[in-house]
Amino acid sequence: MTYLPNILFAITLIIGIGYFTKNVKKLIRNIKLGHDVDASNNKSQRWKNVINIALGQSKMVRRPISGLLHVVVYVGFIIINIEVLEIIIDGLFGTHRIGLKVLPVSVYGFLIGTFEILACLVLITVIVFWIRRNVLKLARFMKSEMTGWPKTDGNLILYFEVVLMTLFLVMNATDVEFQSLNTGNVISQYIAPWFSGLTEGTLHIIERGAWWLHIIGILIFLNYLYFSKHLHIILAFPNVYFGGLNPQGQFNNLDAVTKEVKLMMDPDADPFAAPAEGAEDDIPAKFGASDVQDLSQIQLLNAYTCTECGRCTSACPANLTGKKLSPRKIMMDTRDRLEEVGKNIDANNGEFKDDGKQLLGDYITAEELWACTTCNACVEECPVSINPLSIILDMRRYLVMEQSAAPSELNNMMSNIENNGAPWPYNQMDRLNWKDE
Partner 1 sequence: MSETLKVKTMAEFMAEGKQPEILFWVGSAGSYDDRAKKITKAFVKILNAANVDFAVLGQEESSTGDIAKRAGNEFLFQMQAVMNIELLNGYEIKKIVTCDPHSYNCIKNEYPSLGGSYQVFHHTQYIKDLIASGRLKVSGDTYKGKRITFHDPCYLGRANNEYNAPREVLQNTKANLVEMKRHKSTALCCGAGGAQMFKEPEKGDKDINILRTEDALETNPNIIATGCPYCNTMMTDGIKAKEKEAEIEVLDIAELIANTGNL
With beta carbons less than 8 A apart as the criterion, state whether 140 and 315 touch: no
Q: Is 187 helix (H, G, I), strand (E, B) or coil?
A: coil
Contact code string over 278-317 relative to ligand SF4, x by CB under 6 A: ----------------------------xxxxxxx--xxx
373 in contact with ligand SF4 (CB under 6 A): yes
Closer residue to partner 1, CB minimum distance, 17 or 417? 417
Cβ partners under 8 Å of residue 364, min gap 6: 329, 330, 333, 334, 395
Least distance from ligand SF4 to the Cβ atom of residue 249, Å:
11
Task: By CB under 6 A, name the one of 231, 235, 364, 378 that touches ligand SF4.
Answer: 378
280 binds, among partner 1, ligand SF4, none (CB under 5 to 8 A by kind): partner 1
Candidate segments 150-158, 372-380, 403-411, 420-428, binder of ligand SF4 by CB under 6 A: 372-380
50 in contact with ligand SF4 (CB under 6 A): no
53 in contact with ligand SF4 (CB under 6 A): no
With beta carbons less than 8 A apart as the criterion, state whether 303 and 335 touch: yes
339 binds, among ligand SF4, partner 1, none (CB under 5 to 8 A by kind): none
Q: What is the largest CA-CA distance in the chain?
A: 100
Least distance from partner 1 to the Cβ atom of residue 376, Å:
4
364 in contact with ligand SF4 (CB under 6 A): no
In what helix (H) or strand (E) does residue 408 lie, and over which residues does it extend?
A: helix 408-420
Q: Is 135 helix (H, G, I), strand (E, B) or coil?
A: coil
59 in contact with ligand SF4 (CB under 6 A): no
416 in contact with ligand SF4 (CB under 6 A): no
Say how far apart CA 255 and CA 275 lie, in whole Å.
Answer: 18
Task: By CB under 6 A, name the one of 327, 334, 398, 399 that touches ligand SF4.
Answer: 327
394 in contact with ligand SF4 (CB under 6 A): no
Task: By CB under 6 A, name the one of 27, 187, 325, 359 that touches ligand SF4.
Answer: 325
358 in contact with ligand SF4 (CB under 6 A): no
DSSP assignment of 252-280: PPPHHHHHHHHHHT-TTS-TTTS-HHHHH
Handedness of CA 153, 159, 162, 167 (dihedral sign): negative
Q: Using alpha carbons, list the distances in angstroms from residue 110 to 49, 106, 184.
A: 32, 6, 6
Say how far apart CA 110 and CA 119 lie, in whole Å.
Answer: 14
Helix axes 388-397, 297-305, angle to 10 degrees: 130
Closer residue to ligand SF4, CB minimum distance, 113 or 317? 317
Burial class (CB in 10 A: 0-12, 13-18, 19+), 60: buried
Closer residue to partner 1, CB minimum distance, 94 or 271? 271
Least distance from partner 1 to the Cβ atom of residue 420, Å:
8
Tell me the CB-side half-sphere exposure of residue 256, using CA atoms within 13 A. 13
Closer residue to ligand SF4, CB minimum distance, 380 or 430? 380
Which residues form the interface with ligand SF4 (CB under 6 A)?
306-312, 315-318, 325, 327-328, 331, 372-378, 381-382, 384, 386, 388-389, 392
